Structure 1
């Protein structure tokens, strides 16, 4: 018997990295999952791997409110209900503040913060109408609390996600809907691969993590499974940082690695 037997979940950014690990783990624990992503090929590969009886895909840009609403409705149409949502879609950027292009700032905030809000809005609406409670989990970041050179937009967006999580938990608790966030540190994913290809940078990250390693998507999926399950039924309004202890130290000085004066 799985920890999520009979439950239905939505996972955005679910075609790769942390999202994909969450989808795989949720299905292994008995859930059926709607995978939301802009990567249609990645969605197709995951359906081929896990089977159309267990998952379905929704090609969605989380900045598009109508598309987000269709994704939530798809969960009901395809699997009959909604119990869990993991709002994982996000994107980063890098620039000194004085040179940060407005269009890049808007893209990071639009996907990572506004997109999280839009997903949460429509997931909450469905869960309230359903009347049986549920668990919503937003993906924040260590960068919600740890400042980083060149990450002005990303840090601001993820800090926003942590406060959005608290407000949503405050409002939705009366409907037995729990809202928490997870704040990963460095995790090996396709999204971090380019940055970690810079010589010495991964070693600099690991130097700041007392546990002495970077994370893997499966590490985050383990925590997401706990928050999605009834085992965490008293937990809401929390951001849980899973970073190998890096939050007690500091982020590497990225300007030096990127040649910024």
Structure 2
């Protein structure tokens, strides 16, 4: 069943009626919430995740012919096939959202090359590979289209222990701006959303630590983590004609946290890459 919207949230309209969307990282967290929101807005959804069962679970939750695709976002062949499958199922690709990501925490001097490469492969190379395949399809089919990349407040806010993640997300933001310049003439808008701390499986361990949770909440003027639905609402706006004159920009959805100093993570221990 589609998600139930809380009373304090504006009910979704049908701004995206009939449009075709491909969302990466669709199996959980922000990516899943984006799929659900865009579907509520009327879009036809291709749910992509490296975990085939998770992609299928999201597609089944949407119903109505939603497509499930298992693919590695950093693999050019996988992403080309995913875009082709979406266009074959829905006749075109109007909206692409690149939400797949991973995190890892270790001091710079303790970060292994394996960890560095893993985070950049998924968070930055994955966006490049995905965006490239999506843009080629959008150019070939003609007409307006939009690509939205998930960046982070860490694109601009350095965090101790987050060298790889911060570097990757800064790259995502600049990559989106270059793409916006190059694709504007084809009627393709490119924008980014920079979430702050969001209550997802990827940050569950952090939020479960009382000391870390207090440090982050004290840093957020609105005094709570974002919900995945908060991020999805911003994506729905950028994907719609309401944002028809918005390109090359990053919309930060962080409860005001980026106005503050990023919490210190200096006491964190080295960790393996997040799955």
Superposition TM-score tier, normalisation by shorter sequence: over 0.9
Contact 1:112/1:157, CA 8 A, preserved across alignment: yes
Deviations 1:29-48, CA, capped at 9 Å, x for gaps? 11111111012221222222
Contact 1:31/1:54, CA 8 A, preserved across alignment: no
How far does residue 57 in structure 1 lie from its aligned partner after superposition?
0.9
TM-score, structure 2 normalization: 0.91
> Aligned pair 1:63/2:74, yes or no?
yes
Secondary structure of the residue aligned to 2:194 is strand
> How do residues 45-124 of structure 1 correspond to structure 2 at under 5 angstroms?
45-51=57-63, 53-124=64-135
> How do residues 117-156 of structure 1 correspond to structure 2 at under 5 angstroms?
117-156=128-167
Secondary structure of the residue aligned to 1:106 is helix
In structure 1, stretches of 5+ residues that fail to align are none
Distance in 2 between residues matched to 1:48 and 1:37, nearest whole Å: 14
CA RMSD of aligned residues (A): 1.4
How far does residue 199 in structure 1 lie from its aligned partner after superposition?
2.2
CA 1:54–1:27 in structure 2 vs 1: closer, same or farther (change >3 Å)? farther
Distance in 2 between residues matched to 1:259 and 1:11, nearest whole Å: 31
Deviations 1:149-189, CA, capped at 9 Å, x for gaps? 11000000000001001100000000010000000000000
> Aligned pair 1:35/2:47, yes or no?
yes
Aligned to 1:221: 232
Contact 1:201/1:257, CA 8 A, preserved across alignment: no
Aligned to 1:201: 212
Aligned to 1:182: 193
Aligned to 1:172: 183
Contact 2:104/2:165, CA 8 A, preserved across alignment: yes
Secondary structure of the residue aligned to 1:255 is coil
Distance in 2 between residues matched to 1:36 and 1:166, nearest whole Å: 24
CA 1:259–1:127 in structure 2 vs 1: closer, same or farther (change >3 Å)? closer
Distance in 1 between residues matched to 2:224 and 2:173, nearest whole Å: 25
Contact 1:198/1:257, CA 8 A, preserved across alignment: no
> Aligned pair 1:14/2:48, yes or no?
no
Equivalent pairs counted in the alignment come to 259
TM-score, structure 1 normalization: 0.96
How far does residue 148 in structure 1 lie from its aligned partner after superposition?
0.3
Contact 1:140/1:184, CA 8 A, preserved across alignment: yes
In structure 2, stretches of 5+ residues that fail to align are 1-12
Contact 2:107/2:270, CA 8 A, preserved across alignment: no
How far does residue 222 in structure 1 lie from its aligned partner after superposition?
0.5
Superposed structure 1 runs of 4+ greater than 3 Å apart:
257-260
Secondary structure of the residue aligned to 2:149 is strand
Aligned to 2:266: 255
How far does residue 255 in structure 1 lie from its aligned partner after superposition?
2.0
Distance in 1 between residues matched to 2:241 and 2:234, nearest whole Å: 13
Which stretch has the larger CA shift, 150-159 or 93-102? 93-102
